[in-house]
Amino acid sequence: MSGGAAAAPPPVPRGTRVEVVAERVAHGGHVVARHEGRVVFVRHALPGETVEVEITGEGKGGRLLRGDAVRVLDASPDRVEPACPHAHPGGCGGCDWQHASLPAQRRLKAEVLREQLSRLGGLDEIDGVPLRDAVDVVAVPGDRDGLAWRTRVRYAVDADGAAGFHRHRSGQVEPVDRCPLVTDELDSIGVTRTGWRGADAVTTVASSGGDRAVVVEPASLGSSLPRDVAVPGLRGRGWVRERAGGRDWRVAADGFWQVHPGAADALVDAVREALDPQPGEHLLDLYAGVGLFAGCLAPALGEDGRVDAVESSARACADARRNLHDLPGVRIHERSVDSWLRWTELDSVDLVVLDPPRSGAGAEVLDHVLDLAPRAIAYVACDPAALGRDLGLVRRAGWRVAAVRGLDLFPMTQHVEAVALVLPPH
Ligand SMILES: C[S@@+](CC[C@H](N)C(=O)[O-])C[C@H]1O[C@@H](n2cnc3c(N)ncnc32)[C@H](O)[C@@H]1O
């Protein structure tokens, strides 16, 4: 055999314990460390800490290890006691940063966001300001110490019928009696104190409009749900009322709506500020859901303004039609964004909101959007990696990233939302 390919490193059995220094945060809710020349992605550690890591798996042909910090030998000043007894190695996989103070969590998320923008987007400054000073992650109004913010939860169910959350990178369920991230209203439904034998998952919602609903997969009533809790298809309505941007919204009980009670308003404010919509302008709301951005921005466009909202879910479009029926300038298109853009007869628009799912908008959608020559694009992203990749694409086409704002819509978890403003070439 001729040389060239590096020999595979010797396997490191699961359960092996090694001492490492945690270096820097990485996308995915872990910290990078090194062990005998290999990268180790360590959960439950913080940058700068010396920790004993239990190896939990290997990746990339053994060149990468995964592990949990099971003992902290030298703690970071950012370390705090987790609020939840299930937030520990081998426990609930729902949270990633309960062991970090909230300011530290936001610093870590900002670092991840900047790293993805730089590495995947080729950005090192925004409007002449170094990325370090231009991008941060802030709490949304109404956040209560990062706890009691989940108004929607999809619980997994274990073999005994107990509701809980998946362990990290596992199909196993950690039964959880009281998740400190859920709101009191959602907890009061009592899903975690009810048996769910025969169910695969139970989605619960406690909406800002005061509705409570449970969607069981496969459909069932459960045993002891309070009588006012709707169980779509079996009891009560299939939708809940939400309130945001000064309007009322109707959303399917298991449809898409932002989870943090402060999120919808914070996103609308960020998008409105970025786009500064003017009377008579034409806005595209792509991946429109039940019409949040279309409905909140349309009034600023006035009687001569127009909005085309594109959304592929039939259910979300039906709700959007109800939600926006008082706004004659808004048209809702039940279609995939890719296909709508390919076939639209429009040759220009003024403003675009892009709020794609985690996978991002991608090259084809972005090409079409740039061809429409909007004066500004607001890109709302829930995955910094997809955002970085997509901002790289628009930059290579000569467009400018004029602002990126990080919002902590998912405290205690690794997730972060960002709103980017993209402007045409000078
Ligand atoms: C992140 S949500 C945003 C919804 C809405 N903008 C909001 O803020 O409530 C993404 C939405 O995109 C829709 N979607 C996913 N893929 C799509 C596609 N290819 N074309 C159109 N809509 C899509 C989903 O149904 C979902 O409603």
Helices vs. strands in the chain: H and E counts, helices first: 9, 23
Do you find a cis peptide bond into 218, omega within 30 degrees of 0? yes
Within the chain, which residue ranges are assigned CATH 2.40.50.140?
Answer: 17-74
Residue 57 has pLDDT above 70, yes or no: yes
Fold of 17-74: OB fold (Dihydrolipoamide Acetyltransferase, E2P) (2.40.50)
User: Model confidence at 60, in pLDDT bands (50, 70, 90)?
Assistant: confident
Distance CA 382, CA 256 (A): 13
What's the number of CA atoms in the CB half-sphere (13 Å) around residue 204?
Answer: 29
The C-alpha torsion from 225 through 229 and 231 to 234, rounded to 10°, is 90
Question: Could you report the per-residue pLDDT of 243-272, keeping only the tens digit for each?
Answer: 999 999 999 999 999 999 999 999 999 999
> What are the strands of the beta sheet with 351-354, ordered from one edge?
137-139, 400-408, 417-423, 376-381, 351-354, 282-286, 306-311, 330-334
Please report the pLDDT score of residue 5 as a whole number: 58
382: annotated active-site residue: yes
- What mean pLDDT, rounded, does the chain reach? 95
Please report the pLDDT score of residue 4 as a whole number: 52
Please report the pLDDT score of residue 201 as a whole number: 95
For residue 151, the one-letter residue type is T
Handedness of CA 20, 24, 27, 28 (dihedral sign): positive
Q: Which residue, judged by its Cα, is nearest atom 4 of ligand 1?
A: 289
3-class SS at 111?
helix
For residue 313, the one-letter residue type is S
3-class SS at 411?
coil
Q: Which residue, judged by its Cα, is nearest atom 8 of ligand 1?
A: 292
Evaluate: CB of 289 within 6 angstroms of ligand 1: yes
Distance between terminal CA atoms of the chain? 56
What is the arithmetic mean of pLDDT over 221-227? 78
Distance CA 191, CA 187 (A): 7
Distance CA 421, CA 276 (A): 11
Q: Which residue, judged by its Cα, is nearest atom 26 of ligand 1?
A: 289
Residue 2 has pLDDT above 50, yes or no: no
Residues 32 and 40 sit within 8 Å (Cβ to Cβ): yes
Which stretches of 285-415 are DSSP H helices?
A: 292-301, 314-323, 337-343, 362-371, 384-396
Evaluate: CB of 112 within 6 angstroms of ligand 1: no
Residue 115 host element (H or E): helix 102-119
Quick one: which of 386, 382, 379, 384 has its CA closest to 403?
379
Distance CA 181, CA 280 (A): 42
% of the chain surpassing 90 pLDDT: 92
Distance CA 87, CA 131 (A): 32
Q: Which residue, judged by its Cα, is nearest atom 15 of ligand 1?
A: 357
Quick one: which of 37, 44, 29 has its CA closest to 65?
37
Burial call 28-52: b when 16+ CB within 10 Å, e when fewer: ebbbbbebeeebbbbbbbbbbbbbb
Q: Please state the pTM of the whole predicted model.
A: 0.96
Please report the pLDDT score of residue 11 as a whole number: 85
CA of 255 to the centre of ligand 1 (A): 10
Residue 401 has pLDDT above 70, yes or no: yes
- Cross-strand partners of 175: 164
Distance CA 56, CA 68 (A): 7
Question: Could you report the per-residue pLDDT of 280-304, keeping only the tens digit for each?
Answer: 999 999 999 999 999 999 999 999 9
Distance CA 157, CA 159 (A): 7
Please report the pLDDT score of residue 6 as a whole number: 64
Quick one: which of 247, 219, 246 has its CA closest to 233?
219
Which stretches of 246-313 are DSSP H helices?
A: 263-275, 292-301
Residue 1 has pLDDT above 60, yes or no: no
Please report the pLDDT score of residue 233 as a whole number: 86
Ligand 1 atom nearest residue 336's Cα: 20
Q: In 10 A of CB 183, how many CB atoms?
A: 20
Residues 246 and 265 sit within 8 Å (Cβ to Cβ): no
Distance CA 182, CA 260 (A): 10
CA of 239 to the centre of ligand 1 (A): 17
Evaluate: CB of 312 within 6 angstroms of ligand 1: yes
Phi-psi sector, 351: left (phi>0), alpha (psi -120 to 50), beta: beta
Question: Could you report the per-residue pLDDT of 80-137, keeping only the tens digit for each?
Answer: 999 999 999 999 999 999 999 999 999 999 999 999 999 999 999 999 999 999 999 9
Ligand 1 atom nearest residue 264's Cα: 8
